[in-house]
Structure 1
Amino acid sequence: MIKVVIPGRPISKSNFKLHNVHGQSWMPKQGKHSRYVAYENMIAGHINQQYQTEPLEGDIITVLKLYFPNRKMGDLHNYPKSICDGIEKSGIIKNDRQLKPVLLFDFIDKENPRVEIELYKASEYDVSYSISKKSLL
């Protein structure tokens, strides 16, 4: 199991894409829109500081816990892409297609916004979930 904490508010990839006249999207490496690339590099850096290992093989069960400073978080489903790209950039995996399943949770922590990443080799761990109706008392 690998656990990494990325300090600061999570960043969504969709907020930083630009489009050319032909409708193709691209990510700028300079200017105000380059924050996404910096965030991706920050994730990779935190992983590389803590884990010096061969790339993980096979499917990786991925748990992403996003802690926002307030309820202004936008579309929650846009955040995993930036995080998964940072994980791939770290070299700990060969391709972010290995990250499956991805479990996504969101929380509010005004004092300590962050992303917590947990990676488990699917060959060594099982994942299960259950949904149950709440009892009304």
Structure 2
Amino acid sequence: MLAAIRRMTTVAGETARITRFSLHAPKHVEVEFGDGRMFKLSAEFLRINSPAVDGKIRSIGGEKVISGRRHVGIMSAEPVGNYGVRFNFDDLHKTGIYSWDYFYHLGSNKFTLMRNYIKTLKKHGLSRDPRGRK
């Protein structure tokens, strides 16, 4: 199954056609689209931008805040139909389905999304690093 996901080709909705998907577990994925754009997305970035509703998300003042995921890893990925991928992260999160369109959105807005995430963490006194064990 992993071999099948490493080289998927399908249509990515209204954006560009995906031409390559490569999982480099546990650190990141690379996705390439027919318009020539290629994105390298870290496991942390994918985890904090999960499209799933997750019980480990803190809502502070209506903001979605996921902290302590700097070292999260991707354990596996599985295709979902012909439109996306579901990741299994080592923090046991596995419910989000990342569509090809969503990958394109994440890659195109990577720096803004990450900058806003870091600002939100600082605003609430949280960190990208996991809490120490007590």
TM-score relative to the length of structure 1 = 0.29
TM-score relative to the length of structure 2 = 0.29
Structure number with the bigger relative contact order (C-alpha 8 A, sep ≥ 6) is 1
